[in-house]
Every structure is written in C-alpha cells, then in structure tokens.
Structure 1
C-alpha cells in the first residue's frame, strides 16, 4: 500500500521489526513515549537532517551537530529544572547562543532554589513575573472575544510578559483597540505588530504524506496504534478518508476545531501504521522514538505534503491563535514556513514528535511562521499511544 519512495528508514524498520507493525501488536506504553528523561537518539544527526538545519538555520555542519546535542541535553534537563524552581519559576527556554536551557526565576527566589536549578545544568535569569502569573493573564485573554485584527497571544518567558500580536493594518480598528485595552488590564501584556493574520493550511500512515477528505487535501501527522493524528480543521465531516493513492484508509474518529486543532483517523483496508516521518528526499525518512517536548529556542522541522521538509526554531508555547473560524489554544509557534496542504503534517525535533501543523502566515518562498498543536495533548485527549521505533 505504501509508495516505493518509502524505502530508506521505513523499509529498514519493516525489515528489522517485521510483524511489530501488524495490528494487535502490543504497543509501547504511553508513559514511556512521554517520560521526563529523553531517550538518547540512535541517529539524531543524519547527513540529510544536518543539511536541512544548515540550510534553514544558516549553520555549519559542526554548528548543527553541536546544536542537536545541546538541545537533547536541554530537553532532558527541563522537567528537573522546572521542579527545582518551584513557585519561583518564571518560565524556561533554550538559549541557542549559550547552548543551554535557561530558567527564569523571580527576584524573591531563595538562594537555595537558585542553587538547585543550577545544579540541574540550567542557567538562571531573573524575570519579573512567575509563570503562574503569566499563565493566569493569558487565561483571562482567552475568555475575551478577539476581533479578526488580533492575530494571537502567548506567554513570552524571556520577556516575562504576555505578548499580544496585532495585525499592523488593523491596530486603529475600534474593536482591536478595545481588546488591547482590556488585555492590559488583565495583567503584564506587551503588544507587538505582525504583517498579516494567521490562516489554516488545508487545501481544496506516514508523517507528512497527503490524505484526502471531501474536497480537501491535508497531511498525516504521526502514526498511533490503530490510526494517525492530524489537524482538526481537516475534518470536513464527510466521513471517509483517502490516502495518497486515493484508496480508502478509514474515517475520522474524533476531531476538534476551533478551540483545539486536532483529530485522529482509524486505519484499515490494507493500510498500516509505521513510526516514520517522510524526509521527501531532502533528508532520510525520520524514525519517531518518543514525544519529549523541545523547549522554546530549540530547532524543529516540519514535513508536509505541499512544501515537504523545512526547519526552524520554536518561538513560543501555549499561544492562543485567533483564526477567522475562532481561537485555538495551547499552540506552539515556530519560525518554520508552510503552505496550504501542509495542515496536519508532522513537527519533529530530532527523533521526538512535537505536534501537527495547524496554520500560520507567509509561505516557503518569502518565509513565515507556523503553529502546531502539541502531540501529547492529542494523545491524552483520545487515549492514543504514539507508534514509536
């Protein structure tokens, strides 16, 4: 059922694991797929992956290798550092320049807390507000009815503020001005201007592969046992889902959009699931070995059926994105480009699944930003288990 181009990593997995892909095989536990400690990647820096990072992040080969290794360390350190920070936590992010995880602590943090955080290997920076204060501010904004001229809002732990992104051409709009005034009353808020409003990337089970439903083409996110996950806005409520070759795959078993942007599709009729994300010839097909969350500042790559493979960095987490169809919450913003048809496709950091493509602005010729819905939220919502190698 799979295309012949799915040969490199995918075929290797089929040959080495064989019947492990068959329906009914006992899956790895969900807790193992999302445990606090990142499992070391066996091959985190294939030649193709390094080439993509070098191109999109303007790095040398040595810089790309060092960055991947440092990001793995930061991802493993983050849960321990957050626990050590306790109530003084202001947020965490990856500092690409220093190659370390940075933890924001409020000025009143006890010295014992500072020492405990540093003992995890993280750097410390003083910030004005706690993560709890910033999260509460964002939650207040989530209850407001945002006009179309407000693109999104998210917590920026480095600046210790909630950033509200307003479309520059709409900043004088009365509804936008009222929203901004109410936002400032909600807590520490900073307004920034963006060039355009976000849109979803839907057009007209391997991550990045196309699928069709109704008159829409989207992209597969990640294989789970029994099916695959993708973007909720791809569900046209027509029932049947068809694969790249237009043969029947299955049906949407659950979806949510707006408020969330996730869905899952069952797989049958001769289709099967594999823990692979397509590299589209830019990189070798990537094996999926878990879903540990990469911190803000980490590199991340996306696979989709329109623009294939592109990389960038994680810019923000837990951002609320105000699409024309309604707000979507708890999204992760990236500097990766995308275009219509890429919706639902895979975001992956090293060999760790991050999320499914939702929408953004711009394109892959002039650049842009793209949001994804985090994978672990989808797995938890539907009680699914990620198919890992």
Structure 2
C-alpha cells in the first residue's frame, strides 16, 4: 500500500522544503487530543493541558474533529491557494491570512473530510448546496456526539462565522501555549528545510528524500514519488490548475505521522517528522506485515521460545518441539526471510538464533505503521 505522486519532469525550483507554523500548531493540537500517539511528548502534553483555561479547553474539544483522528487539509491552506505557489506563511498570522483565502466550499469540505464527508479520493457534492449530502453529513456528525453535531451544523449554516470562530481559537492557542512552542522549534525546522534544499540542488531529489524519511522513495524511472503508508492514493504535482510543484513540511511534534495531502484540486504536500537521535527509523508497511505473519504461526511461536534463549540447530529444534526436521527448516526459512532469525555455521552444524530487536519492536512498528 502506498500513496504515489506524479513528479514527471518536475524541475527542482518547484520542489520546496518549508516549515509552517499552522501545520505545527495542528500537530500540537493533535498531540493534546491523542497523547497516546505521542509518548515522547507526554510531559509537554500533561503540563500544557493542566495550564489551559477551561473555556479554551472546551472550545478545543468542540473543534477537535479537524485534528483528533487525523489532520484536516485546512492546516496547510497554501496548498489550496494557487497564488501561493506552494509557499506557506512565515508567521502564524500570515498562515491564518492564507487560510482566510480558501473559499467556503473548500474550507467546509476539508474541515469535515475525515469524519463526516466523502473518502479522501472521491469528490462528493458540497453539503452547502446539496440537500442530500448535507443530511448525510449531519447524520454522521450526530452519531459522533452533540458537540460534533453542533460544530457541523454551525459550519454548514454560517461558514464565515464559524471560520472566524476557528481563527480566533487558533490565535488563542498561540497566546496560551503555541508561541513558546514555535519559538523553540522554528530554528530547528528552518535548518532542516535549508539542509534538504541544499541536498536537492547539490545531489538531486533522491538524496533529499532519502533524508526526509525511509518511508519515501522514487520509482525506478524517477517519475513518481512513493510514500509507504497503510493507505492507497495518487495525485499529481503537475496539475496546471494548482500550479506545478510539491511542498515538503518538516515537523518536530508530528512523529510518528507522515502526512500526504493528495486531494483533488490541492497541491501535493508531504509533512514529515524531523529526525531525532531518540526516534526509531521507519519500518516499511510490507516488512511489518511480513514479520507479523511470520511470527503469528503457533509452531513458529514455539520455535521462537527456544531461539530467543540460545542458538539451536535444526535437529535440536526438532527434538525440542516434536516437529520433523523438514518442518523446522520450512518455518525457519519464513522467519529468516522476515529478518527475525539469523543462521551461522559452526563446524559441521548450522545454528539459528532469534534476532531480538525486531521482535521486540513489532508492536511499536505496527503502531507506527498504522499511524504513519
């Protein structure tokens, strides 16, 4: 599974690396709403939530559909305004001004996209003008609780008023906690963007994306950027309606999420976590799947019990488990292919041993893959 972006012939000047305060504010709000996704931010989340005024916390809960389960495209509004040419704002105020430039239909569709509206890869009628779609959206919102139902109704009834309410909410977040966050992370994000830009111009796109994330790659012909995610989608960085180009946005608070904006009518955007020494490297979705499938078999679980304690030969494993030697060999081949077992020769014998680290990481790798 992956999201692919057509970049055929895209010149380097249309490939941008830029930090954006609005996207980082979204990452902060998501971490506050879903702290289990971000164990490394546990202390910051706890102290920030404790210091939030009750009234602001209530408004954040009301609007969390835009950043709770996932991230609304409204937090990278420059991608929906062709005149921006893929450039985010330098300040939160500038980003919010760009957000104001999105038309009501685009804002509403993006705000409701992941919880109330159509799938990301299918254009639906506008709930602002289509009665059936409006009824469907309100029904979905009602199923998620009165708060979301009220927010959705306000959004559909008076988009300008709700948009002004959202802007004021984000400005209040900036005053309450985000200005300090941005002051701490902006220099690191700007330096990362400069480094990736220099790599792009000195060594080319393959070198630049190799440092963005192991989950990014180019097809052999260099025509498409492939993002390894547990999702399927496609878009183009060559749409004349939005202007050619793609923007990469570094994030300090976003790990483990690797976000790809691939909606129709929007410029592609990849928001990636800035690498840190204490963060594990991304494991591919396919590799996680292969390892889970390899270890889940009852016989291979039994083999793993012995292989984790000490190296064993095939014959020893057959004796210990009651399996035949050919059966043990077949199971070992599956575990070896998944990178969970190593084999080395000692004199006349081949000894097998469990590779502990990838086995220990399986749960975390699985969680990071589905959250990516």
TM-score by length of 2: 0.25
TM-score by length of 1: 0.24
Q: More helix per residue: 1 or 2?
A: 2
Indicate the structure (1 or 2) with the bigger Cα radius of gyration: 2
Higher relative contact order (CA 8 A, sep 6+): 2
Q: More strand per residue: 1 or 2?
A: 1
